[in-house]
Structure 1
C-alpha cells in the first residue's frame, strides 16, 4: 500500500517540507544580510557624494536593492537549504528509516519538491510585483548619479524603425499632443531584396495623414550618385506615431505582462525582439529553478553517513546546482546575442539539468 502512495505519511511530509522551508529562508536571510551590508558599504560613498544626499538616501537605496538581492539568491538558498536538510536527515538515519519502510527515493523527495513549487510561485509573484518596480526605479536613479530623477516627458533619441522594407532613422523625437515631431530624419528606400535604392534626409518631420511629411528633403540616388533637393515630401506611409516613441527596453524593470506587451509593440514596429523574448521566457524559467534544487541536491540525502562520504555527496550536490546557474546565465547571454533561439535559451538549461538530476538519482538510488 505504501509503495502505491506518492508521498510519505502526512506527518512526515509536513515535517520534511517545514524543515526545508525554514532552512531555505534562514540561509536566504543570512545571505541577504551579509550581501546587502557589503553592497551598501561599496555604494554609500557614491550616494553621499551628491550634494544634499544623506542617511535617508542610503536607506532608500537599501530598500530598492534588497529585493534584487533576494531575487538573485533565492534559488541558491533553496539549493543550500535542501542540502542542509538532506544532510541532517541522513545523519539522523531518518532517510534509512524511510527507505526501510518501503519508500523510494522519489517518494522521499516528493514533499520537498512540492514545497519548492510553492517557493517558485512566491518567487515569480515577488519578481513580478516588487523586484521589477524596484529595478526600474533604481536604474533611473543610478543614471543620474543618485540626484533628483527628472520627469520623463516622452522625448526619445537615436530611434530606428521600419516601413515595409524601408528603414527610418530619427536623431530626436519630441513628444507632441497628437503625434511626435521628428528632428534629423533619414529615410532609407530599399527594394524587396533589401538593396538600398536611395536615401532621403531632412531636418524636420511631422505626421501627415498615414505618412510623415519631412522637409527640407534632400535625395541621394545610389544608382546615379546624384543629390537633389525635393522640398517637402511624404514618406513612411503606415508608420504609427508610437513606433517613434518606443524607448529602449529594460526587461528586468518590467513585469511579465508589461514585457509581453512591449515585445508585441516592438514586433509591430519592425524591431528585433529575440533578446527580449528570451528575457520574457526567462521570467518563467528562472523562478522554476527552485524546483530543480531539491533534485540536484538529493545526492546528499542518500548513502550511509558513517561511511564518511556525506561531505563529498553534499559537495557534489552543490556543484550540480552551481553548474546549473552557470549554464543558465551562459544560455541567456547566447540568446541575447542571437546565437540561441529565445525559447531554447530560457528553457534548455532547466530541461537539461532536470534530466541530469533524474539520471543521477535513478543511477545511484533507484
Structure 2
C-alpha cells in the first residue's frame, strides 16, 4: 500500500537529512581547504612582496577569501555530498527497503528538498551580509597590489569612465559625499580617436565649487611633443561627478540586494544600460536556490538495483547533470550581462530547465 503522506516517518526524515548535511559539509570543508591552499600559494608572493606585509596579511587574506570560496562552492558540495549519500543508501539496499515500505521517490527526496530550502535561505543571508563585504574588500586590496587600502565604506577598484574624448581609469575610488576621492588615476585624452596625452595622477578630490577635480602628483606625457611634464598640483575632469564613478563599476557580487536595487534605479535614471546589474540582481535569488536542485539532479544515483552494476554509471550521470547546470547557469548569466537574454530569463532559465530535467529523470527512474 502506498503511503501518501509528504513525510511519513519523522525518524527516517532526520536520518536522511543527517546523511545529507554531514556528507555535504565534509565535501565542502575538503574542497574549500584545497582551493584555499592553492589560492594562497598563488597570491602569497604578491602579498609578501609589498613592504610591511607579513604573516598577519596572509591570515587576513585567508579570512577574506574563505567565505567567498565557501559560498561559491556550496552548491557543488551539496551535489557531491548527495551523490555520496545516495550511492551508499543504494548499495546497502536502504532505498529498496524504503520503497518496499510504500514510499515513492518524491517522499524519499522530500526531507532533502526541505533541508536544501533552509540551506538556500542561509546561503542567501550569508551572501548578502558577509560575502558581498568581503568581495568588495579583497577586490580593492588585490587591485591595489595588496598595498594598504583606506577603511572607508564604498571602496571600489579598477574603475573606468568615459568623459567626452577622455578615458579615465581610477585604480581606487572610495569615500562618500564630499569625502569622495580617487587614487592612482590615469586620464587618456583621445580627440578624434588619436591619443594625444596620458596624465597620471596620484590623488584627486572634488574642488570646493564642485565643478572640477583637484589633483596632486601629476605626470603628463605629451605624444605630439614627445615630452613629460610633472607638477605637484593640477585640476581637470570638468563636469565629472563622483556618482559617475560609482555607477561606472556596479558589481552585483560586491553589493547587497538593496544597494544593487538603488544602483539599478540610478543607472536607469542616468539613461545607462542596466541589463548586467539586473541579471546580477535576479541571480542573487536563483544562485542560492541552486542548492534546491542538487538533490533532485543527484537522485538518479539512488534508484535502481545495486546488483545491476550500474551504481557508478548512475552516479556519474547525476554528477554530469549537476555540472551541466552550472555550465548552463554561467553561460546564461553571461548572455544576460551582454544584453542578449532578458535579465530574468538569464537567471531563471537554467533553474527552471534543470528542474524539469530532474523531475523527468526522477519519474523515469521510478518507473
TM tier, shorter chain? 0.7 to 0.9
Q: Aligned ranges for residues 59-208 of structure 1 at < 5 Å?
A: 59-150=59-150, 159=161, 177=178
Q: 1:171 to 1:52 in 2, by over 3 A?
A: closer
1:365 deviates by: 0.9
CA contact 1:75–1:293 (8 Å) conserved in 2: yes
> Partner residue of 2:264?
263
- Ranges in structure 2 where 5+ consecutive residues have no aligned partner: 182-186, 190-205, 213-238
The reply to whether residue 359 of structure 1 matches residue 329 of structure 2 is no
1:246 deviates by: 3.8
CA contact 2:160–2:248 (8 Å) conserved in 1: no
- Ranges in structure 1 where 5+ consecutive residues have no aligned partner: 162-166, 187-203, 214-235
Q: 1:179 to 1:88 in 2, by over 3 A?
A: closer
CA contact 1:243–1:269 (8 Å) conserved in 2: no
1:363 deviates by: 1.5
CA-atom RMSD, angstroms?
3.3
- Matched residue of 2:102: which SS? coil
1:257 deviates by: 1.3
> Partner residue of 1:297?
298
CA contact 1:16–1:111 (8 Å) conserved in 2: yes
Question: How many angstroms apart in 2 are the aligned matches of 1:118 and 1:176?
Answer: 39
Question: How many angstroms apart in 2 are the aligned matches of 1:126 and 1:145?
Answer: 27
Question: How many angstroms apart in 1 are the aligned matches of 2:179 and 2:255?
Answer: 26
Question: How many angstroms apart in 2 are the aligned matches of 1:62 and 1:178?
Answer: 30
Q: 1:154 to 1:284 in 2, by over 3 A?
A: closer
- Matched residue of 1:4: which SS? coil
Question: How many angstroms apart in 1 are the aligned matches of 2:91 and 2:245?
Answer: 63
Question: How many angstroms apart in 1 are the aligned matches of 2:110 and 2:38?
Answer: 37
1:52 deviates by: 1.0
Task: Tell me the TM-score normalised to structure 1 length.
Answer: 0.77
Bigger radius of gyration, 1 or 2?
1
Question: How many angstroms apart in 1 are the aligned matches of 2:314 and 2:246?
Answer: 55
The count of aligned residue pairs is 314
Question: How many angstroms apart in 2 are the aligned matches of 1:41 and 1:158?
Answer: 30
Question: How many angstroms apart in 2 are the aligned matches of 1:334 and 1:258?
Answer: 23
- Matched residue of 1:3: which SS? coil
The reply to whether residue 57 of structure 1 matches residue 54 of structure 2 is no
1:33 deviates by: 1.0
CA contact 2:160–2:249 (8 Å) conserved in 1: no
Question: How many angstroms apart in 1 are the aligned matches of 2:345 and 2:125?
Answer: 23
> Partner residue of 2:279?
278
- Matched residue of 2:147: which SS? coil
Q: 1:263 to 1:160 in 2, by over 3 A?
A: farther
Question: How many angstroms apart in 1 are the aligned matches of 2:125 and 2:155?
Answer: 32
Question: How many angstroms apart in 2 are the aligned matches of 1:176 and 1:325?
Answer: 40
CA contact 1:300–1:313 (8 Å) conserved in 2: yes
